[in-house]
């Protein structure tokens, strides 16, 4: 069974209560459960993690190369600011996908740029919690090929 880690960045622990007009009413716990269910359908073991700490996220990214077969990351606000996350992502040769609940290209000007996207194989954004399911399916496709 392939092992996938889904890493979630800052403030995503507030989903369901935070700016529901942008991020929806689905909580991170609910997203975790639908992600695990999708993983089970595809015979993937999903590990799910959230942190508001950039250093914790970087430490987890460092573990991907040896401990996981692929990575899905929602860097949240770090998307637009973190060269450190980008550098960590570039150290991994395993398949990796960046996701966002909202369409970052249809938001404020500063959100239209993703520093971290050049360190991943692809990006999915704008589909709410479905972005996670789409990323799991896409990553599974990358792992099979």
Cβ(78)–Cβ(62) below 8 Å: no
Q: Which two tokens stand for residue 29?
A: 């716990």
Residue 62 falls in the annotated catalytic set: no
> Which residue of the set 23, 68, 78, 132 is catalytic?
23
Q: Which helix (H) or strand (E) holds 3?
A: strand 2-8
What one-character DSSP code corresponds to residue 108?
-
CA distance 47 to 136: 12
Who's near 71: CB < 8 A, 6+ residues apart?
A: 4, 5, 6, 7, 61, 64, 89, 92, 94, 95, 96, 97
> Which residue of the set 68, 78, 100, 132 is catalytic?
100
Residue 105 falls in the annotated catalytic set: no
Residues belonging to the active site: 23, 100
């Amino acid at each position: 069974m392939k092992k996938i880690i889904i890493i979630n960045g800052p403030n995503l622990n507030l989903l369901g209560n935070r700016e529901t007009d942008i991020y929806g009413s689905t909580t991170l716990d609910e997203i975790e459960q639908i992600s695990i269910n999708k993983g089970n359908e595809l015979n993937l073991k999903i590990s799910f993690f959230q942190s508001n700490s950039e250093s914790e996220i970087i430490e987890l990214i460092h573990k991907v190369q040896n401990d996981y077969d692929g990575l899905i990351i929602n860097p949240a606000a770090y998307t637009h600011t973190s060269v450190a996350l980008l550098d960590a992502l570039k150290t991994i040769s395993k398949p990796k996908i960046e996701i966002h609940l909202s369409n970052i290209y249809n938001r404020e000007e500063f959100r239209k740029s993703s520093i971290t996207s050049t360190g991943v194989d692809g990006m999915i954004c704008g589909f709410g919690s479905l972005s996670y399911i789409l990323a799991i399916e896409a990553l599974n496709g990358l792992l099979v090929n």
